[in-house]
C-alpha cells in the first residue's frame, strides 16, 4: 500500500500538542472506522489525541498514564484564557526559557502555569518526545526554532471547544476500557514494546511491556465478546502478531521522522487491527 501521507482536510481541528508516534498521517484511513451509529469515543492512550480532534465525537473518554498531559487537557478545557495568559509571558523558541521551565517543578506551579509549561516544552523539545528520568523529571533536550511557533490562539479555542465533550482519566489503559460498552468506538494506540528492532517508547519509567501486550490482547477479546467496536494501531512485529490473531487487519506504510530530521525519514509498516467490518 502507498504511504499514508494524505493530510486531513482544512475543516479538521488539529491537535495543539506535538507527539512522537502521532497517527496524524493515518487520519484519512483511521477516520473511516468511525460510523454514524457510534455514540461515544474512547481512547486510553490519548497522546496528542489527533483522531479525537479530527472526528469531533459527541461524547468521549480520554485517558493516559501521563499526569502532566491529562492536567494540561483539563486546563485547556476549563481555563483556557488563564493558560493563554501564561503562554504570552514566555519567549518564543528561547533555549534559556526552555531550560528554565524544564528545571521548574510542575507540582509547585499553579495549574494554568503548569499547563503552559507543558505546552511550551512540548512545542520546543526534540521531536515531540515525552521522556522523563527515573525521578519523573522531564529531560528532553531543546530542539530550537525548527519546531515552528506556538499554536495560534484560534487553534487552542477550537481544541478547547472539542474537549468540552470529553471526560479525562489519568492512569492505566484498563481504567478507560472498563467503561466501554456496546455502541462505543475504542481507539487504542499503545506505546510499542518491540524486541526485534529499536522503536521509540513514550514513557521511560513505565514503558509498555510484553505483559502489557498480553493484557491488551485480553481486553481486545473482552471488547469483541461485548460487541464493542475497536481499532488498535501497532508496529508490524511479533507483538503485533499476538494482537491481530483472529481479528481483521490492514497494513499501512507510514513515513516516520526517525531522528527528527528530514534526511532520516523512512517508511515503516503499521497494522490497523479491528473487529469493525468495512
276 touches 186 (CB < 8 A) = no
Rg (CA), the chain: 18
Reported as a single tens digit per residue, the pLDDT across 84-102 is 999 999 999 999 999 999 9
Sheet holding 40-43, edge to edge: 166-170, 60-64, 40-43, 184-188, 229-235, 265-274, 248-257
Q: Which residues of the chain have pLDDT under 50?
A: 1-10, 196-203, 205, 258-264
* Strand pairing report for 248-257 and 166-170: unpaired
Query: Length of the chain in residues, anyone?
Result: 278
24-67+163-274 matches 84-159 in fold = no
* Strand pairing report for 265-274 and 248-257: antiparallel
Q: Let me know if domain 24-67+163-274 sits in CATH 3.20.20.70.
A: no
DSSP class per residue in 210-249? HHHHHHHHHHHHHHHHTT-EEEEEEESSHHHHHHHTTSEE
Residue identified by cell 526517525 is: 258
164 touches 77 (CB < 8 A) = yes
Nearest CA to 151 out of 96, 95, 111, 92 is that of 92
Cα–Cα dist 26/7, whole Å: 8
pLDDT at 251: 97
Q: Which fold has domain 84-159?
A: Adenine-specific Methyltransferase; domain 2 (1.10.1020)
Beta-bridged to residue 267, according to DSSP, are 255
Q: What is the dihedral of CA 211, 216, 221, 224, to 10 degrees?
A: 180
pLDDT at 146: 78
The domain segmentation of the chain, as residue ranges, is: 24-67+163-274, 84-159
Q: What is the pTM of this model?
A: 0.89
Amino acid at each position: 500500500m502507498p504511504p499514508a501521507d494524505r493530510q486531513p482536510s482544512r475543516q479538521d481541528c488539529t491537535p495543539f500538542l506535538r507527539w512522537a508516534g502521532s497517527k496524524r498521517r493515518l487520519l484519512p484511513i483511521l477516520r473511516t472506522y468511525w460510523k454514524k451509529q457510534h455514540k461515544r469515543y474512547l481512547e486510553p492512550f490519548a497522546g496528542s489525541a489527533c483522531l479525537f480532534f479530527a472526528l469531533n465525537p459527541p461524547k468521549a473518554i480520554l485517558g493516559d498514564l501521563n499526569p502532566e498531559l491529562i492536567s494540561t487537557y483539563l486546563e485547556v478545557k476549563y481555563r483556557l484564557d488563564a493558560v493563554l495568559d501564561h503562554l504570552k509571558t514566555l519567549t518564543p523558541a528561547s533555549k534559556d526559557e526552555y531550560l528554565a521551565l524544564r528545571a521548574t517543578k510542575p507540582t509547585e506551579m499553579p495549574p494554568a502555569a503548569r499547563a503552559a509549561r507543558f505546552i511550551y516544552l512540548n512545542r520546543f523539545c526534540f521531536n515531540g518526545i515525552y521522556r522523563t528520568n527515573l525521578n519523573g523529571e522531564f529531560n528532553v533536550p531543546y530542539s530550537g526554532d525548527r519546531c515552528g511557533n506556538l499554536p495560534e490562539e484560534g487553534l487552542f479555542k477550537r481544541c478547547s471547544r472539542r474537549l468540552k465533550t470529553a471526560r479525562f482519566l489519568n492512569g492505566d489503559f484498563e481504567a478507560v476500557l472498563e467503561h466501554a460498552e456496546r455502541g462505543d468506538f475504542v481507539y487504542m494506540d499503545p506505546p510499542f514494546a518491540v524486541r526485534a528492532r529499536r522503536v521509540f517508547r513514550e514513557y521511560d519509567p513505565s514503558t509498555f511491556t510484553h505483559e502489557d501486550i498480553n493484557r491488551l490482547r485480553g481486553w481486545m477479546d473482552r471488547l469483541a465478546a461485548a460487541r464493542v467496536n475497536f481499532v488498535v494501531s501497532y508496529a508490524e512485529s511479533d507483538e503485533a502478531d499476538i494482537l491481530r490473531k483472529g481479528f481483521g487487519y490492514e497494513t499501512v506504510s507510514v513515513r516516520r521522522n526517525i531522528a527528527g530530521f528530514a534526511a532520516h525519514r523512512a517508511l515503516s509498516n503499521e497494522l490497523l487491527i479491528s473487529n469493525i467490518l468495512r
